[in-house]
Amino acid sequence: LAIANAGANFLGLPLYRYLSGAKACLLPVAMLNILNGGKHALGSTDFQEFMIVPVGAANFGKAMQMGSEVYHSLGKVLKDKGLNTNIGAEGGFAPQLSSSKEAVEVILAAIDLAGYKAGEDLFLALDPAASIFYQDGKYVLSREEITLTSVEMVDYYARLVSDYPVISIEDGLGEDDWPGWLLLMAKLGKEIQLVGDDLYVTNMERLERGITGKASNSILIKPNQIGTLSEALAVIERAQKAGWTTVVSHRSGETEDTTIADLAVATQAGFIKSGAPCRGERLAKYNRLLKIEEELGESARYPGKQAFYNLEKMKSWK
């Protein structure tokens, strides 16, 4: 990263332009983590992240406006229900909820309160981080007091996708439950995005196994997880060549460094995760993307629903 930034500074170029040349014009769709659970908010929910995806926006700036309005509306919904509005590690609210379904329902109420339509203006995305509750070959959802097999966990997700406007699930199964991932792909892989994070850890060898076995249709990219920018770029290129979507991501422990914003634009990643529209280390990335969109001017493009280009029948929901 230091060498890339030095090269960009020497040439007087923004980092995204230095990495990609003139082709960089695609802004990513933000996946905003507005309700935190799991290890990011102990005792809140079994699932770790509940995100909103503003696909109905005309540009990145409007997408952030939509996301911010829903985020603040969620605070009002939680307060009206007598639930706490403490903030989790990634800036999202961390109320004590009985189930993941309840978390989804309060977010849907917030979308409605903000004046938007779920399943049209915004979809939902989940990151259960299932490796955390995968124990002895079973999925232990302690808040819901149920223990599920891989098959039952896949059916659990299928019901969520059927009942709610969920368009993406990240780490829905344990990082070593490869058979479970194949079941999940067979069940939902044509209509929603299935993202591997712990499954791949931005590692080329694990990615190749996933591509060969058709274990998912998307990968999360964390540059400091694999260790070098060159390796991260190679993983992105390989995933995109396989027809997968790519999601450039922050970490739960973050700084105000904005490199991932430039990386998302440079690689035309399509998606970015940087937490809620709250806390300086999260907002820094989103603010950088707003600046990039301003710099690109009329050439800037926001993909919206087209970011899910590899879904055969993108989920519709009413």
Neighbour tally for 225: CB within 10 Å: 17
Quote the CA–CA distance of 221 and 219 in Å, as a whole number.
6
The strand pair at 218-221 and 193-196 is best described as parallel
Instruction: Note whether 124 and 70 are within 8 A (CB).
Output: no
What's the one-letter identity of residue 313?
K
What's the one-letter identity of residue 212?
T
Q: What pLDDT, on the 0 to 100 scale, is given for residue 167?
A: 98
> Is residue 136 pLDDT above 90, yes or no?
yes
> Is residue 209 pLDDT above 60, yes or no?
yes
Q: What is the mean pLDDT of residues 94-112?
A: 96
User: Which residues, in sequence order, are bridge partners of residue 134?
Assistant: 139
Q: What is the mean pLDDT of residues 97-106?
A: 95
Average pLDDT, the chain: 94
Q: What is the mean pLDDT of residues 200-225?
A: 96
pTM for this structure? 0.95
Q: Band of the pLDDT at 40, cuts 50, 70, 90?
A: low
Neighbour tally for 147: CB within 10 Å: 15
pLDDT digits (tens, 9 = 90+) for 114-133: 999 999 999 999 999 999 99
Q: What pLDDT, on the 0 to 100 scale, is given for residue 315?
A: 63
Quote the CA–CA distance of 44 and 143 in Å, as a whole number.
8
Q: What pLDDT, on the 0 to 100 scale, is given for residue 44?
A: 77
Quote the CA–CA distance of 249 and 96 in Å, as a whole number.
26
Q: What pLDDT, on the 0 to 100 scale, is given for residue 250?
A: 81
pLDDT digits (tens, 9 = 90+) for 43-66: 679 999 999 999 999 999 999 999
CA torsion angle 32 35 38 41 (round to 10) = 110
Instruction: Report the alpha-carbon angle 271-310-250, nearest 5.
Output: 20
Secondary structure letter of residue 19 according to DSSP: H
Q: State what percent of residues in the chain have pLDDT above 90.
A: 85
* Tokens linked to 198: 């712990």
Is 205 known to be catalytic?
no
Q: What is the mean pLDDT of residues 104-123?
A: 98
Is 222 known to be catalytic?
yes
Residue whose C-alpha is closest to residue 206's, from 194, 192, 219, 193: 219
Residue keyed to tokens 């079941």: 183
Q: Band of the pLDDT at 306, cuts 50, 70, 90?
A: very high
The strand pair at 49-53 and 32-36 is best described as antiparallel
> Is residue 280 pLDDT above 80, yes or no?
no
Quote the CA–CA distance of 55 and 306 in Å, as a whole number.
8
> Is residue 253 pLDDT above 80, yes or no?
no
The strand pair at 134-135 and 166-170 is best described as unpaired
2-307: CATH architecture: Alpha-Beta Barrel (3.20)
Per annotation, catalytic residue among 69, 170, 175, 222: 222
> Is residue 314 pLDDT above 80, yes or no?
no
Per annotation, catalytic residue among 69, 90, 175, 254: 90
> Of 282 and 198, which is predicted with more confidence?
198
Q: What pLDDT, on the 0 to 100 scale, is given for residue 318?
A: 59
Quote the CA–CA distance of 304 and 19 in Å, as a whole number.
24
Quote the CA–CA distance of 233 and 264 in Å, as a whole number.
10
Instruction: State residue 84 phi and psi, 5-degree precision.
Output: -70, 155
pLDDT digits (tens, 9 = 90+) for 219-244: 999 988 878 999 999 999 999 999 99
Secondary structure letter of residue 79 according to DSSP: H
Map 192-257 to HEC letters: CEEEECCCCCCCHHHHHHHHHHCCCCEEEECHHHHCCHHHHHHHHHHHHHCCCEEEEECCCCCCCC
Sketch the domain layout of the chain as residue ranges: 2-307
Q: What is the mean pLDDT of residues 22-31?
A: 94
Instruction: Note whether 190 and 313 are within 8 A (CB).
Output: yes
